Homo-oligomer: A and B are copies of this chain.
């Protein structure tokens, strides 16, 4: 049996305050690993899954990673090939960190690597989003695109995958705290009102535009003023106990902004340097610990590589 190849796909922060449904960025860790190898036995098989506590299916069409891989294999006309894959979940489910997206991206990546890279990352995107759709139900790229391509990614339109990289300034760090609380993505969606006040919609457009300007111009002050969500955060904050205390602790530590990562319960903050990011991370953790909530902290630059062959 050959040693095979190993790919890594990172976690990601979607929504990014004023960027609900249109903005996401990749973290350095955590993330998922998939080991794949060619096999004499025709077809795609999952031979092992670790770190998933029995929650992930082995059926090719039901598992996000193998679903994405299978679509890549079909697209390049390699149906006759034999591939075995081991999925190593190394990040929590339902954390708001794009867990299923990382799996889907890793699945698409491993198939592409084993087939000697017939597709570019941009071409893989559609298949990875299809994989994520198996878990999520929606064709949404806001976690998949940054996990695959790296960096901070704007998704102007999901249907056409009109995605664009937004440059981020040197020194930008994320502090992400994942509390041991469960929020189902469906619940986080159901809580949202179908309507928004025109005033808030205008404020949100001003902020997202300013956030992009701030990123292009490395204007940390502007990024700080723009990282403000007047639409989604006020509705979802109630799903995360101690949210406002955690945010206050982060702001007091000097972060540029702090909001809910994805659909939560993870909370992210962005800082202008690693010192503030670490200080803020510790302060955010302390609030949860003081309230008896176990939690994990990730400190990361913006991961500009995205998914990689290890």
Contact = CB atoms under 8 A, between A and B. Distances in A.
A225 B199 CA distance: 24
Nearest to A205: B208
* Copies of chain A in the complex: 2
A78 interface: no
B22 A156 contact: no
Given A154-B210, A209-B209, A213-B212, A22 B202 contact: yes
Chain A contact residues, majority secondary structure: helix
A181 to B, nearest CB: 24
B197 A162 contact: no
A157 interface: yes
B204 A154 contact: no
B164 A205 contact: no
Given A164-B222, A198-B195, A198-B196, A209 B21 contact: no
Interface in A156-170: 156-157, 162, 164, 166
A193 B201 contact: no
Given A213-B154, A225-B156, A198 B194 contact: yes
The interface centre, meaning the residue of A164, A166, A225 with most chain B CB atoms within 10 A of its CB, is A164
22 contacts: A19-B209, A20-B205, A21-B205, A22-B202, A22-B206, A23-B209, A154-B213, A155-B206, A157-B225, A162-B222, A166-B213, A192-B198, A194-B199, A195-B197, A195-B198, A196-B197, A196-B201, A198-B231, A205-B205, A205-B208, A212-B212, A212-B213
